[in-house]
Amino acid sequence: MNLRRISRGAAAWFEERLGLNAVMELLKRKEVPQNKDTIWTYTGSLILLFFGIQVVTGIMLAFYYKPTLELANKSIGRIMTEVPLGWIIRSVHFWSATFMIAIAFIHLLSIWIIKSYRKPRELTWMSGVFLLVFTLAFGFTGYLLPWDDLSLAATKVGTDIPRSIPLVGVWVTKFLRGGDDISGDTLSRFFSFHISILPLCLLAVLCFHIYLIQKQGMSLPLGAQERVDKKRALPFWPNFVFREAIVWLIFSGVLITMAVLLPPSLSKAADLMAPAPEGIKPEWYFLFLFQTLKIFPPKILFVNGDTVAVLVIFAGVILFFCLPLIDNKPEQRKGKFITFAAYLFILYAVAMSVWSLLS
């Protein structure tokens, strides 16, 4: 009985019962078109790679992290100093978060610009917007967990913003904070969101997002001719997967290098009674929103400036969510304007972020 025969026998046993060869056949039949837009198809799976890294490093950190007011900061300090190579695991988790969010934005912008959300892929876009919201929520909730001055201040500001929404605002803030103010309950709540609620929500929507992509296939660029493109398409397995493997290797290498050479430090534990530290800023991915809020005057007509700002941003998000429905004539002027709007948004976000950093 040699190893090859045993493994073939085992595979056949499982195949008879699970029928998973069908999945492999699907992956072999699935095709990835080869055109000028193909490079952007690597962004989706990259997000998945970084999410996987987050889950693994997150689980490891959760083995030692203690989510209470008294011990949160101390337990991370212990991870960084006493647990073998703990500082590297924490650093990888920190950097993979940045990479994941950055690639998520790039993925979104590429879809916006090449208009992959056209019929029948509207739901893929909409579920994608949810995925982006969950990803940002991961970043927001995770940022509080070290419980140092900066994270407390950022969370105070961040959970205060919904308060300016009329009617429901106060309740949103209370729900996020577990009360009117930030306390140990806030930390427990954020931890629960970060390791339980958000992963479940993200996985559910992700399955839907990926199912749609498999079912509908890869989109073609605007104006492409299907027959011509089909000839040049590559099978997903093994051709595209090997190319993807190269991309994954390079990005993982960059991630590990940055994690090892630029690890995050830990400030001392937050003091709920202390005044806010100077120059607090949210993480880089919230800077443009933070600056947007700042440029609104305190009062517009008779309405609170913050309320107007939050409502404007909220309206923007709704428009954004409905983009495939709005862009129903992609080749015409409206469609061209929407593409131009993507570049405008990039310019705006970068400008606002830089302004926020420098001020």
Partner 1 sequence: MCVFLTVEFFLPVLSFAQQAAPPAKAPEIQAQAQSEKIVAAPQNIKEASRIYVFLGWMWVSIAVLIYFLRLKIKEVDRLHEIKFFLPDKK
Partner 2 sequence: MKLKQSLFTRRQFLNGLLGGWLGALAATFAYPIVKFLFPPTPEPEQVILPLADYSSIPPNSIKPFAWGSKPGFIKKSDNGTLVAFVAVCTHLDCTVAYLADQRKFFCACHDGWYDDNGTNIGGPPPKPLRRLVLAEEGANLIVKREVTK
**Smaller CB separation from partner 1, 105 or 251:** 251
Q: Is 85 in the site for partner 2 (CB under 8 A)?
A: yes
Q: How far is CA 106 from CA 8, 36, 112, 174, 180, in A?
A: 42, 16, 10, 33, 36
d(CA 244, CA 49) in angstroms, rounded, equals 11
d(CA 196, CA 205) in angstroms, rounded, equals 15
Q: Is 3 in the site for partner 2 (CB under 8 A)?
A: no
Q: List residues bridging with 299 in a β-sheet.
A: 304
Q: Is 246 in the site for partner 1 (CB under 8 A)?
A: yes
d(CA 48, CA 168) in angstroms, rounded, equals 34
**Count of residues that bind partner 1 according to CB under 8 A:** 32
CB of 285 to partner 1, least distance (A): 22
**Smaller CB separation from partner 2, 60 or 311:** 60
Give 6-42 as a 3 state SS string. HHHHHHHHHHHHHCCHHHHHHHHHCEECCCCCHHHHH
d(CA 268, CA 277) in angstroms, rounded, equals 12
Q: Site for partner 2 (CB under 8 A): which residue of 48, 60, 136, 341? A: 60
CB of 120 to partner 1, least distance (A): 27
Q: Is 245 in the site for partner 1 (CB under 8 A)?
A: yes
| Under 8 Å between Cβ of 265 and 69 | no
The token pair that represents 255 in the structure block:
């991630």
Closest CA to 330 of 321, 345, 341, 315: 341
Q: Site for partner 2 (CB under 8 A): which residue of 63, 171, 175, 314? A: 63
Q: Site for partner 2 (CB under 8 A): which residue of 27, 62, 71, 83? A: 83
Q: Is 80 in the site for partner 1 (CB under 8 A)?
A: yes
Binds 28, which of partner 2, partner 1, none (CB < 5 to 8 A, cut-off by type)? partner 1
Residues 27-66 that bind partner 1 (CB under 8 A): 28
CB of 266 to partner 2, least distance (A): 17
**Smaller CB separation from partner 1, 44 or 146:** 146
Long-range pairs, 151-158, Cβ under 8 A, ≥24 = 151/270, 152/182, 152/270, 152/272, 153/276, 153/277, 153/280, 154/280, 154/281, 154/282, 154/283, 155/182, 155/186, 155/190, 156/182, 156/276, 157/280, 157/282, 157/290, 158/282, 158/286
Name the segment binding partner 1 (CB under 8 A); options: 36-44, 116-124, 164-172, 250-258. 250-258
Q: Is 265 in the site for partner 1 (CB under 8 A)?
A: yes
The token pair that represents 302 in the structure block:
């008779």
Angle at 95 between CA 93 and CA 99, to 5 degrees: 115
Binds 63, which of partner 1, partner 2, none (CB < 5 to 8 A, cut-off by type)? partner 2
Q: Is 84 in the site for partner 2 (CB under 8 A)?
A: yes
**Count of residues that bind partner 2 according to CB under 8 A:** 10
Residues at the contact surface with partner 1, assessed by CB under 8 A = 28, 74, 77, 80-84, 87-88, 90-91, 234-235, 238-239, 242-243, 245-246, 249-250, 253, 256-257, 260, 263-268
List interacting residues with partner 2 (CB under 8 A).
Answer: 56, 60, 63, 82-86, 88-89
